[in-house]
Amino acid sequence: MQIMMARLTNILGGTSVGTPRNSGIDFAKIAVEMRAITARWYNAEVQIIDPNLRNQTWDIATNEFTNDPKAVVWSGKARVQPIRQASTPDNGVAQGAIQGVRVQVPYDSSLPLIRKGLQVRVTDGGQDAVLESIQFVVRSAINSSYGWNRTIECDVDVKSVSNG
């Protein structure tokens, strides 16, 4: 057995650090237990919005759309965390400052597929009310099969926020 493992390690070009299948570790059970622990960090309230599902009517007299509420596809507790330094892309007209933000929400079976382009609105910023005035645009929402929570990566144009 050791010779076979050493041979596979050499063939695959790495070290043998995997967990054997018969180790008795139940990763699914660990993931479920860790969900309650990660939920302790959720101190914000958010809404996930699909801007394409909004019902709008054009008013010719006022030259405006009606103020129908945006389509909320999910709402609940979350953790909002910046993940890197803001970048300054040149979009041709003005420079922005795009900050990556991670929004973590409970691993909930009622949560639909979160697609790029959806929006996250913070309705209660927990200890930071400024979060409630920022528009978060979903970049990705890929998750682990043993997820402890649902992770949503967003972009925020922090330069436009700071300039009013």
**Which of these, 86, 157, 68, lies nearest to 119 by C-alpha position?**
157
- Out of 19-28, 104-113, 114-123, 130-139, pick the least confident: 19-28
Does the global pTM surpass 0.95? no
Q: Write down the number of H helices and E strands in the chain.
A: 3, 8
Report yes or no: 82 and 97 within 8 Å, Cβ to Cβ.
Answer: no
Between these two residues, 137 and 13, which has the higher pLDDT value?
Answer: 137
What backbone torsions phi and psi does residue 73 show, to the nearest 5 degrees?
-95, -20
Q: How far apart are CA 46 and CA 123, in angstroms?
A: 5
Closest CA to 80 of 34, 136, 33: 136
> What domains are defined for the chain?
39-56+64-162 (2.40.10)
